[in-house]
Chain A
Amino acid sequence: MLTLLWTDIAVFALVFGSALAAWKTSKKEHAARPWKKVFESKVGVVSLTVLLVFILIGVLDSTRIQQNKELASGERSDYTETLSLLDIMLTPLRVNTEKTYSEPFAHTLYAKEMTVNESGDTQWIYPRLVYGGAHLFQPVEERGGDILAKVFKGLSYGLLTWLVLMLMLLFITKASCYLKKPSGIRVCSLTLLAIFLILGALSALAPYYHILGTDKVGEDVLYQAVKSIRTGLVIGVLTTIVMLPIAITLGLMAGFFRGWVDDVIQYLYTTLSSIPGVLLIAAAILMAQVYMANNPELFTTIEDRADMRLLLLCMILGVTSWTGLCRLLRAETLKIREMDYVLSARALGVGQVQILKRHVLPNVMHLVVITMVLDFSGLVLAEAVLSYINIGVDPSTYSWGNMINTSRLEMAREPIVWWSLTAAFIFMFTLVLAANLFADVVRDAFDPRFNK
């Protein structure tokens, strides 16, 4: 049975919305022109492909299936379990949990333990892992060769899948579009090749090793990092969606209408930005927690509660973070409203809303894009900071913030546990970098003055 949480609905609505917008844009010749430029740029195509892979993972993770748990006896229990498509695909990663910390590609735990061997002697050794490297008899000697063999196998599977996919594409499109517009599609397919190779290698290794190690309770860190993608995307995108309309409407109104409208809006954002954001967020989250505790019938499962908290966090981050962009937009609008083209539109009797929509908004859009992208990485980090004082996402939600937060203690250990932080860092870095590069290309493509 398919179930949907609130954030899932938001994710699907966004994906459908952008797909619809893209389809509509492709119908209009002059609106599609800048996008063509994006698809001709190498950086644009690579970053877009990476972003799409991230989004695909997010969407897979938002498609949830509720099923009754199978008991050991083969019967179905009454207890239901909700798993996303991604969980099902990553089943080996999800269920192969160890006892506690283990290093990437390790076959033993990270710490020595007192164990009793068959002959009854107690030993102070590194115990073998239950799953990681369990298939090896002589782990120390065999491991290197085994990993290489598995990587090679994975790579060839990746290559094969990619070839099949490309052939299918060629067959469907009858090769024509591949030859006509080589640059964009070629770069895209090469990026896909790289991604397929990485995925192939990972999927060949993952059932046998903990590629990024395990955490304190023995859970696979790679699994955590992949699951965090959805949280990161939701926080980045939903917050922006909440924040943009407020910032754009108020910023443009303040700059364009001046007078008392300007005074009120300025007063509003000056007041808001002089209250520490953390305080507002803490107040809102704590109130929500009290509400959830008082109305347990509304939030039956842990997922429901965690999801509501995530959604709320997005809302409150959105409501507190619009002031910076609003201020920028107000200043830019003040400049643009005095431009001759706005004056001549007024002389032609164009309505004020139309002027705002047609003349002012497109000319401040570059600011919006830049701020959006810069905020995106900031928001993912803000989530980490908020988790630290326990007002971020629910501790049961996988997120890079939670991973970074827990690694605080791990870094203080001796010997240090570095892989949680590294995993969160690599994933966050890839996502933010792809988003930054893509936004850069989009902004250049939409500025007609840069085009020759």
Chain B
Amino acid sequence: MPEVLLSVQSLKTQFNTGEKPIKAVDGISFDIAKGETFALVGESGCGKSVSALSVLRLLPSNAQITAGKVLYGGVDLLRMAERDMRDIRGARISMIFQDPMTSLNPVMAIGEQIAEAVLSYKVQSPHLVKKKVIQLIKQVGIPDAEEHYESYPHQLSGGMRQRVMIAMALANEPDLLIADEPTTALDVTIQAQILELLKDLQRELGMSLWIITHDLGIVADIADKVAVMYAGQLVEIAPRDEFFGHPAHPYSQRLFAAVPNMAKRNEVLETLPGGVPQLSEIFSGCRFYERCAYKEEACLEMSEIQWQTVSQQHEVRCVNVNKLTTIEKSEPEPVNLQVTAKQKSTLRVKDLEVYFPIKKGLLKRTVGQVKAVDGVSFELHAGTTMALVGESGCGKTTLGKALVRLLPVTSGEVEYEGRDIAKLTEQEFRPYREQLQIIFQDPFSSMNPRMIVGDILEEGLRALNPRLDDKAVAERCDALLGKVGLSADVRLRYPHEFSGGQRQRLCVARALAVSPSVIVCDEPTSALDVSVQAQVLNLLKSLQQEHGLSYLFITHDLSVVSYLADTVAVMYLGRIIETGTVEDILSHPAHPYTKALIDAVPSWDETSGKEVIKLPDNMPSPSNPPTGCHFHTRCAEVMSQCSQVKPDSIALSKSHQVACLLFKSE
């Protein structure tokens, strides 16, 4: 057994709001050994971040630690004087947060900000400090450290900013680094780099790492030990391989089952019934009881479920744990594969361009153009799903919005039902609004907070069929709510009364209200937890079967792509660089960018030690794209002509096309 660095013992933290206190953390205990990576996994709202903040005593003023011990080097941090605590915080234990955009001061050069972290613990001469800062900048893998010392946060990309945050956290060579969702705000390619960096630094400095995340992929990639948190308590602690080999707690098992992948394409994803219980209620027995498939009376008999040992170092809070493994997994429910696609039209996009003019000066003269979508062509067949993948800023959302005419099209054709709808006036386009709908990413900003659900759903119906009478509209609304699995009496409620998943289902209902045949889904599940994501994906899939809908599914999550999509288009800087069936793209990627994108996804299926293609973190700006192939500045297999020739699309097979000079047309 390696030496224990930090030991958390039955820690309890509660928020004193309203009548009942909210017990965000309710008796968690775990140890982090020296040099170990400990991952705390759980869905949003289960108390992960609060437990980290409790350890550092950085809680907001209405929160209170009511019980427990946090032993660091034999001293209880919770009973330490605030003055001594300051020597621990940031120096011995430091923390990095989720959003690198808001964690840095925009008016200070990054060098000064890092220097501040160095200075606050040891008074040193300016010369030494600067040397130390530059060494730190180098350490976190930022090139040209001397020049970047003077850079301001807005001059750096998201990944670079997260590196700066890590540099600040490392300034005093801490023993423990707490990373709270360190890569959630970043693209998958950047995420892979940051995880790699954390691993390297850990090896180099011998520090311990406590990662808080909701992404099982990250856990698989980096963790030594995993703890699963549910409703304020830990329910399972296990070494990584044990955990991914045999998840023991029913909740952990359900989490795995809810992750979409290729193998589950023809199944309905498993979802958890009900929701996470309110943390203000008083629990008796197992907290997962309501949602558990294996529940029985014994689960509620004792007030607190005791830890059961599965194997050495693998403990589970479940009374039935030894029986669970013998229970046969129920046969997965097959998706109804019968396609009832009515004769609906294919959406054909040809050479679509969406440019935003850059205007300058008093007379607003156009001095340049941001080529957000730069000549894109694809076909979306009726009743199928096409996934549009790419890093943020590649123009995929712009493309989606332009298709439903929320943004003006600069040039190109969008052919639907035999007409070029890109050239229609707003008035002529109106009938097509019934056919083309869009669902947005953020379920919280996509519904007017001051309108009741009924009015939100009716809005589209009334706008497009002004002659419909009230009764017909009300009936249609009830039917829609039923279709997305909500009861009809929610019509008088406001959107804020619903959870994220319910809101996203309401958004689906709103889009369905006008009976569209094509829906642009702009990352509809990326703001949701994995079990809630499964509900929305199931809903989308069943609606597709029922109504023969086609989806243009904009996403960066390849597991969702593998589950839902029929065809995939990979976009880079305004251009589609590869299209093909989901099989073509995910199993036989041709373009170097696609390969890098797929490799960057952390996963536990494959044997570890795979060679990851690292993309440099310098996505060019679409206002000034590189010449020739847009990707040549980051490509690992770059050739001399790449910077001169724009690659044409080449058919590798009947369905698979790629735009790369590595391939020659036959």
Contact = CB atoms under 8 A, between A and B. Distances in A.
A364 to B, nearest CB: 10
A367 to B, nearest CB: 13
A37 interface: no
Contact of A348 (B459, B494, B496): B459
Given A30-B452, A339-B445, A340-B440, A345 B496 contact: no
B433 A347 contact: yes
B449 A348 contact: no
Contact of B446 (A341, A446, A451): A341
Nearest to B401: A343
Nearest to A352: B426
Nearest to B492: A30
Contacts of B496: 448-449
A102 to B, nearest CB: 55
Contacts of B433: 347-349
A244 to B, nearest CB: 19
Interface string B577-606: 000000000000000000000000000000
Contacts of B430: 349
A182 interface: no
Interface string A409-452: 00000000000000000000000000000000000001011010
B356 to A, nearest CB: 13
Contact of A351 (B401, B406, B463): B463
Contacts of B436: 347
Chain A interface bracket (under 10, 10 to 19, 20 to 34, 35 or more): 20 to 34
B442 interface: yes
A347 B438 contact: yes
Interface in B413-470: 430, 433-434, 436-442, 445-452, 455, 459-460, 463-464
A354 interface: yes
Contact of B448 (A30, A346, A349, A362): A362
A18 B433 CA distance: 39
A340 B442 contact: yes
A350 B450 contact: no
A29 interface: yes
Interface in A323-369: 339-341, 343-351, 354, 358-359, 362-363
B507 interface: yes
B440 A362 contact: no
B404 interface: yes
B510 A348 contact: yes
B507 A344 contact: yes
Contacts of B434: 349
Given A30-B452, A349-B430, A341 B437 contact: no
Contacts of A345: 459-460, 463
Contacts of A446: 450
A354 B507 contact: no
A267 to B, nearest CB: 13
Nearest to B439: A344
Contacts of B494: 448, 451
A21 B614 CA distance: 65
B514 interface: yes
Interface string A156-188: 000000000000000000000000000000000
Nearest to A338: B445
B404 A347 contact: yes
A343 B449 contact: no
Contact of A354 (B437, B463, B492): B463
B654 to A, nearest CB: 34
A350 B459 CA distance: 7
Given A340-B446, A347-B436, A348-B464, 19 more contacts: A339-B445, A340-B442, A341-B448, A343-B401, A343-B406, A344-B439, A344-B446, A344-B511, A345-B463, A347-B404, A347-B433, A348-B463, A349-B460, A349-B514, A354-B463, A358-B459, A362-B448, A446-B450, A449-B496
* A-B interface, 4 closest residue pairs, ranked by CB to CB distance from nearest: A348-B460, A340-B446, A349-B433, A340-B440
Interface of B: 401, 404, 406, 430, 433-434, 436-442, 445-452, 455, 459-460, 463-464, 492, 494, 496, 507, 510-511, 513-514
Interface of A: 29-30, 339-341, 343-351, 354, 358-359, 362-363, 446, 448-449, 451
20 contacts: A340-B445, A340-B446, A341-B446, A343-B406, A343-B446, A344-B511, A345-B460, A346-B406, A347-B406, A347-B433, A347-B436, A347-B437, A347-B438, A348-B514, A349-B433, A349-B464, A349-B514, A358-B451, A359-B448, A448-B496
